[in-house]
Copies of this chain bind each other. A is one copy, B any other.
Amino acid sequence: MAGNSIGQLFRVTTFGESHGVAIGGVIDGCPPGIELSEAHIQAQLDRRRPGQSRYTTARREADQIRILSGVFEGKTTGTPIGVLIENTDQRSRDYSDIQDTYRPGHADYTYDAKYGFRDYRGGGRSSARETAIRVAAGAIAMQVLAGLGVSVRGAMVQMGDINAEQFDWQQVNQNAFFFADSSKLDLLDESIRQLKKAGDSVGARIRVEAHGVPAGWGEPVFDRLDADLAHSLMSINAVKAVAIGDGFAVVEQRGSEHRDEMDASGFLSNHAGGVLGGISSGQPVIAEIALKPTSSITIPGRSIRRDGSECEVVTKGRHDPCVGIRAVPIAEAMLAITLLDHYLRHRGQNSVLTANGQVPTVE
| Contact with A230, one of B147, B202, B222, B231 (Cβ below 8 angstroms) | B231
| Contact with A116, one of B15, B114, B281, B362 (Cβ below 8 angstroms) | B362
Q: Are A349 and B117 in contact (CB under 8 A)?
A: no
Instruction: Give the chain B neighbours of A44 by CB distance below 8 A.
Output: none
What is the CB-to-nearest-CB distance from A326 to chain B, in angstroms, rounded to a whole number? Answer: 15
Say which size band chain A's interface belongs to. Answer: 35 or more
Q: Are B117 and A32 in contact (CB under 8 A)?
A: yes
Among A66, A104, A220, A223, residue most surrounded by chain B Cβ atoms (within 10 Å): A220
In the bound assembly, the distance between CA atoms of A248 and B345 in angstroms comes to 31
Q: Oligomeric state, in number of copies?
A: 4
| Contact with A2, one of B9, B33, B116, B214 (Cβ below 8 angstroms) | B9
What is the CB-to-nearest-CB distance from A275 to chain B, in angstroms, rounded to a whole number? Answer: 8
Q: Are B302 and A261 in contact (CB under 8 A)?
A: yes
Q: Are B21 and A346 in contact (CB under 8 A)?
A: no
Q: Are A255 and B202 in contact (CB under 8 A)?
A: yes
Q: Are A115 and B348 in contact (CB under 8 A)?
A: no
Q: Quick one: which of A191-248 are within 8 Å of B by CB?
A: 200-205, 214-224, 226-235, 237, 240-248
Asked if A105 CB lies within 8 Å of chain B CBs, one says yes
Q: Are B33 and A258 in contact (CB under 8 A)?
A: no
Asked if A22 CB lies within 8 Å of chain B CBs, one says yes
Asked if A171 CB lies within 8 Å of chain B CBs, one says no
Q: Identify 9 new A-B residue pairs, CB closer than 8 A, beyond the known A31-B350, A33-B117.
A: A4-B26, A17-B79, A20-B68, A104-B261, A111-B277, A147-B358, A226-B234, A247-B248, A255-B297
Q: List 29 A-B contacts (CB under 8 A).
A: A1-B345, A3-B221, A4-B219, A4-B221, A15-B79, A17-B70, A17-B72, A20-B72, A32-B350, A33-B116, A78-B115, A79-B220, A111-B277, A114-B279, A114-B362, A115-B352, A116-B352, A125-B221, A148-B359, A160-B252, A221-B235, A227-B232, A234-B242, A240-B245, A240-B272, A258-B293, A264-B308, A268-B302, A347-B347
